[in-house]
Amino acid sequence: MRSQYPVSYQPILDIQFQGLHLIEASAGTGKTYTLSSLMVRIFLEKYLPNQVIATTFTRAAAAELKSRIRLRLVEILEYLEPFRDVLEQDIQTQALQESDPLKQQVLQNFAPRIAYACERLKLVIDQLDELFVGTLDSFSQKLLREFAFESGKIERTEITDDAKSYTRQLIHDVLREWIQTQPQQVIDALYSVGGLKSVDHFVGMVESSLNFSSAQFKLPAMPEIELAQLQQWQQQAHGIELNTLAEYFQLDGIYYPHINGASFRNHAFHKLFTEALPLLLKALESTENVQVFDAYFADARDAVFKFLEKLENQKIFKKCPADIAEGFYQHETVLQLQSLFQSLQRTQQAFEQLQVYLKAYLCIEVKKRLPQVLQQKGETTFSQQIRTLSDALKGEQGQRFAVFVQARYPLILVDEFQDTNQDQDDMLANIWRHPQRYQKGCMIMVGDRKQAIYGFRGGDMLTFLNAYQDVMSKQGHEYKLIHNHRSVKELVEVVDVLFQRQLDFGEQVMYDPIQAGSRPHPALIENTQSNPAPLRWLQLQEGNEQATQVAWQIQTLLNQAYLKQLYLAADVATAIDEEDIAVLSRSHRQLDEVQYVLERMGIRVNRPSKRSVFDSAIAKDVGALLTALLHPYDEAKLKRALLSRLFGFDLTRLLALEQSAEGLSHYIQQFDDIREMWLNQGFLSAWQRCLNQFGIWQQLVAAQSKDNERAVVNLRHLTDLLSQHSEQVQGSHNLYHWYLKQLNSPGDREWELEHKLSNEAGVQLMTIHQSKGLEFKIVFLLGANKAFAEVQKSLNFSTTEIQLPETGQTRTQRVVAVADKNFLQQTELDQHQQRALAEQNRLWYVALTRASHRVYAVFEPEKGDKNKFSGLAFWKNQGDHFQHPYSTEVAPILERPQALQAQQVQQRIAVSAQPLPTQRFYARGKTSFSYLAQHLKHKANRVDRMANIDVVFEQAEDELNFSAQDQVVVAQPIAWIKQYFPKGTLAGNFLHEIFEQIDFQQPSTWGEEIRRRFKNTYQSLWLELLQQYQQHFPEQEHSEQQLYQWIAEWLKEVLMTPLNQDFQLQQLEAGQYLSECPFYLALSDRVLAMQRVQQLFEEYGIEMPELLEAKSARYLNGSIDLVYFDGQRYHIADYKSNFLGAEQVDYQQVQIAESMSLSSYWLQAALYLVALHRYLTVKLQNYDMQQHLGGASYLYLRGMNGQAQQGCFYWKPEDEFILRLDAILGYFSEDNAGKMV
């Protein structure tokens, strides 16, 4: 549209990320490229990914957009990296030479800060998963969940996948309620005239009205029907004698020659009085005269009503004496007929108006009740969710909610803005286009009004136009993309000239001239000519030859490609193939015809499946098999299953089986076994057994058929659906009835549509609506001049002017009404027709801009003025005959071309495989010492593992307990509390937490901490300990205080035990140590080499059992029990509650070293020291490894009694050992800064 506002044609360069911006991107003008470039600028200049929202029309488009954004970010980062060391002046010079507008803009803006730009881009790429890119429906769901309290919508609802069932149920309920309030005679008459139909008849209309929930719905007045006149009709009909008019209507009557033959052709006047009127009068004379409105009497009624019209206009006779005409017009019988049937006509019109009222009433009531029904079920629909969000944003509380949302997401980018409906636009306007806040954020709307073709889904050009005026009234900025990068230059030029013949598409959509873009295209070479006549008109001579001609044209193109006369001139010449050709149509019927001819000719066809998997033959066979499995002893059901394709029986084979000695008993027994398995082990196990036991997969493909893969894919699909649903329902019969319900009413829900086949290739057939956003090399447009006619029009769309109460401004609002020409004004009908024709013009614009190299527009024979300006003829037939160097008329092919491809000799292609890679990719994961040492529960021959491995590793789960198998004399036993304190992970965790919580220099507080810990967290441990005490000291009292005292003394002995150089833990003051210090140790981005780690330990004389591999590990996590500073160095300590024996000698240096080897604690200590080394490297200024890094003390708590060399082992490996292990573990990045978190 030629705008009255200033327009920029370089949005990538000119846009500033504040306020409102509208980008109109014509077809093929690089919209996604522009959006991804703008996103790079947004992230560099203003916002991070978690502050930005990007919405588009479909999930597939959202996935593509996010992928393109990531690629563009990586591209710009790689482009900027070499400029880190370049002078600012040289960067500015390079910017002027750059053809990419984004690179030019980034260089100019960040010339002094290239390093900052690079680091910012790295950060953005790392955080890109936080960017929301999705549909407006999913975004509304996100807002309602994220801002549940602010919106006031705290109840969590799930999106239903069966919205149509709610609509159908509501129609049923509303219709039933309405019928109960009406007199029975009215209902009978309404049924007779066809006004009362099944619920399914109203579903389509009601669902269409729900798409325009914000529009004003016009409800007609309910007509009043006088039932008393039915009895009057009976009396009137009984008194009418038609024979009194015999001289007028009999063929040999005196006055019959004067009857107007032009008004009553083929003796219609005679038939009226001898057939139609007697039939109606007889019906009216009956007691059930309401039957006169039945469809059986429709022709008779129409004939009488036409007679009444001519009677009123006195056009019964041709020129005749006045007395003859007056005698008829004033005849008593004629006056009686006129009075009776005028009353009948008024009543019929009242019933017709009642039908219109009923339809409108259903639409309004369903719209009003649907939210309540969904809320009761805890469900919602996407459209209802948008309305809920839009309503939540209204009022004072709604504005507070909007402020929260805008503060959280200050920038939103809305793609395909022309397809937003009124509810969606209201939601967006309340948040980002509010008059008082639109400058506080940024809203970028991207779309093309010429491609607004989804009116049937709720998209409305009026919504776009109102939004456009709103944006421009708030200092909005308008941008346009006018360079077509999709098509070759010749096609762009000829299509542009064609559209300029009529710039006005309707509904304020004006065409903007387009130029060819800079994107290079390989030329389409035909007989040595480059891109000859890319726009071709195929004028048909007969109306029924379209499918044949299109198929023959396609075969001709393929023959040319085979002869190397038609190919793309790239670096390597590429012949045109079936996949390069698309056939587009407004209707599926025309595509069906073309598909039939193509398949008959042996040309492959690829057509998107919109069929439910439950509508397939395999689905019915699966239903039969499920029935037989649940009723194995019902022979009829069993035979039906065996005769299905799943088993492959035919009647002959089945009869032979029945006549055999074994009969059906073998299958009955097997089916019964599978049924039992289903009941006991679940559906999936039984189903897989059934499929494998009977060889069903093999049976499906046993015979050659073109639909073998479809059958296999559908069976796999049905298996997945049954398996998923079996987890949601209880019992086999519930699952079975759910499946039967799907079979009886297959829908178009996304999860039930047939999956795409792996071999789907060939000429692509699709509707124009399906082709939007796609690109094909050669396109055939079916029925390009076919006259537009709405099929089963149910709603009428018009407009009205309203005044906004908030601003006082006038605004055009959509008005929706039930389509009925008797109820609507001519202005409303004309507005609807103009809207429909304008959308058809936009539809053909979309169709003509799908091709990159060539378009064939198929024109049907002209039928007067009916299709002279329909479809593409709207532009072609404007003014003079359309002529252009790049356009030509194609003559129809007179006979079927033979397929040359069939003569091609199939070549045997040598297949070779690349060698298996020696280094493989593994997803980034994390590991720990506890994982690496899980093998200990299998390798240690004296191990008594106290707890099973859990997914979450506990503090003490790596502790192994040993008991001496050889009895020796106990010279010095360990204290009772140490010997009988429970063993295992739970006890170890208790001791770890005690040492984590107590103050080493405040023993007076230990008893209370011990008591609290037992009472709050470790009651089961306390009961076990108390039971041991009571067994050994049954006569002792005050057992609780005694145990607390013993544990406190035990802690004191641990803290008094000399460690390295007689240092004791009780010397540590607060601030000199860290308890339970967690860490994440970054590893190299390759497989963790555990064999090299083991070899390193062996080199230093440390033997350990073989360790587990951790191929996917990229981080090693753990928690160091104690990190402390002794005044000189930083050390670690690890508490172990392992039970090594009942005497002190079991806890000396040799025994502890043996335990550490068996438990691989050397690895744990080494890993902890590497972690401490990396930590000190980052945190400690002037860190020196020899000066500051200490060793590891392993504290076997049960053996520590305050004496040196008892229960503790100090290990200080060489610095070279730590550095070599550090190098083996590696780093995620080569940069050594920040290697430890």
Residue 1119: both structure tokens together: 């928690």
Mean pLDDT estimate for the chain? 87
Q: Is residue 918 predicted with pLDDT exceeding 60?
A: no
pLDDT tens column, 536-554 = 999 998 888 999 999 999 9
What distances in angstroms separate CA 874 from CA 502, 663, 850, 871, one per listed residue? 8, 71, 19, 6
Predicted confidence band of residue 163 (pLDDT cuts 50, 70, 90): confident
Give the mean model confidence (pLDDT) for residues 462-467.
Answer: 93
Q: Look at residue 934 in the predicted model and tell me its pLDDT.
A: 52
pLDDT tens column, 1179-1218 = 888 899 999 999 999 999 999 999 988 999 999 999 999 9
Q: Is residue 51 predicted with pLDDT exceeding 70?
A: yes
CA distance 564 to 293: 69
CATH number of 613-752: 1.10.486.10
Q: Look at residue 793 in the predicted model and tell me its pLDDT.
A: 85
CA distance 1021 to 1023: 5
DSSP one-letter code for 766: E
Asked whether the beta carbons of 886 and 493 are under 8 A apart, the reply is yes
Which of the pair, 930 or 208, is modelled with greater confidence?
A: 208
Q: Is the dihedral of CA 61, 66, 67, 71 positive or negative?
A: positive
Beta strands in 1059-1207 (DSSP E): 1073-1082, 1113-1125, 1130-1136, 1189-1196
Q: Look at residue 816 in the predicted model and tell me its pLDDT.
A: 94
Predicted confidence band of residue 909 (pLDDT cuts 50, 70, 90): low
**Percentage of residues in the chain having pLDDT higher than 90:** 51
CA 472-477-483 angle, to 5 degrees, is: 120
Q: Is residue 415 predicted with pLDDT exceeding 50?
A: yes
pLDDT tens column, 1085-1095 = 666 777 888 88
DSSP one-letter code for 182: S
CA 308-313-314 angle, to 5 degrees, is: 90
Residue 453: both structure tokens together: 């073709």
Predicted confidence band of residue 967 (pLDDT cuts 50, 70, 90): very low
Give the mean model confidence (pLDDT) for residues 99-114.
Answer: 94
Please give the helix or strand (H or E) that residue 346 lies within, else none: helix 332-377
Predicted confidence band of residue 1113 (pLDDT cuts 50, 70, 90): low
CA distance 509 to 506: 6
Q: Look at residue 265 in the predicted model and tell me its pLDDT.
A: 86
Asked whether the beta carbons of 767 and 588 are under 8 A apart, the reply is yes
Domains 504-608+761-897 and 613-752 share a fold: no
- Domain 925-979+1051-1225 CATH (choose: 3.40.50.1820, 3.90.226.10, 3.40.50.720, 3.90.320.10): 3.90.320.10
Residue 1001: both structure tokens together: 């220099």
Residue 399: both structure tokens together: 């504005």
Least confident of 255-269, 339-353, 1101-1115: 1101-1115
Which of the pair, 101 or 156, is modelled with greater confidence?
A: 101
Least confident of 361-365, 496-500, 1008-1012: 1008-1012
CATH number of 7-157+381-481: 3.40.50.300
Phi–psi pair at 1066, nearest 5 degrees: -70, -10
Amino acid in position 928: S
Q: Is residue 964 predicted with pLDDT exceeding 50?
A: no
CA distance 305 to 103: 76
pLDDT tens column, 466-494 = 999 999 999 999 999 999 999 999 999 99
Q: Look at residue 644 in the predicted model and tell me its pLDDT.
A: 92
Q: Is residue 1010 predicted with pLDDT exceeding 60?
A: yes
* Strand duo 1073-1082 + 1113-1125: pairing: antiparallel
Quickly tell me which residue has 């098509």 as its tokens.
487
pLDDT tens column, 64-80 = 999 999 999 999 999 99
pLDDT tens column, 341-391 = 888 888 888 888 999 999 999 999 999 999 999 888 888 888 888 888 988
Residue 656: both structure tokens together: 């032979």
Asked whether the beta carbons of 1236 and 1175 are under 8 A apart, the reply is yes
Q: Look at residue 1233 in the predicted model and tell me its pLDDT.
A: 40
Q: Look at residue 937 in the predicted model and tell me its pLDDT.
A: 40
Q: Is residue 832 predicted with pLDDT exceeding 90?
A: yes
Q: Per-residue b/e over 95-134, b at no fewer than 16 CB within 10 Å?
A: beeeeeebbbbbbeebbeebeebbebbeebbeebeebbbb
Please give the helix or strand (H or E) that residue 780 lies within, else none: strand 776-781
Quickly tell me which residue has 């795409």 as its tokens.
756
Phi–psi pair at 1218, nearest 5 degrees: -65, -45
Residue 148: both structure tokens together: 């549940």
Q: Is residue 252 predicted with pLDDT exceeding 50?
A: yes
Annotated domain spans of the chain: 7-157+381-481, 162-378, 504-608+761-897, 613-752, 925-979+1051-1225
CA distance 444 to 447: 10
Amino acid in position 400: R
Q: CB neighbours (10 Å) of residue 669?
A: 11
Q: Is residue 288 predicted with pLDDT exceeding 80?
A: no
**At a CB cut-off of 8 Å and minimum separation 6, what does 261 contact?**
318
Which of the pair, 28 or 935, is modelled with greater confidence?
A: 28
Give the mean model confidence (pLDDT) for residues 1026-1038.
Answer: 82
CA 1088-1091-1095 angle, to 5 degrees, is: 130
SS3 of 175, please? helix
Please give the helix or strand (H or E) that residue 537 lies within, else none: strand 535-539
The whole-angstrom distance between residue 959's C-alpha and the CA centroid of its chain comes to 49
* Strand duo 810-818 + 795-803: pairing: antiparallel
Q: Look at residue 192 in the predicted model and tell me its pLDDT.
A: 78
CA distance 1117 to 1083: 10
Phi–psi pair at 920, nearest 5 degrees: -115, 160
CB-count burial class (<10 Å; 0-12, 13-18, 19+) for 142: middle
CA distance 1127 to 1143: 34
Sheet with strand 411-414: strands edge to edge? 7-8, 477-481, 19-25, 442-447, 411-414, 52-56, 132-135
DSSP one-letter code for 1081: E
In sequence order, what are the beta bridge partners of 379?
158
SS3 of 477, please? strand
Give the mean model confidence (pLDDT) for residues 937-961.
Answer: 42
What is the value of pTM for the model shown? 0.72
CATH architecture of 504-608+761-897: 3-Layer(aba) Sandwich (3.40)
Q: CB neighbours (10 Å) of residue 779?
A: 25
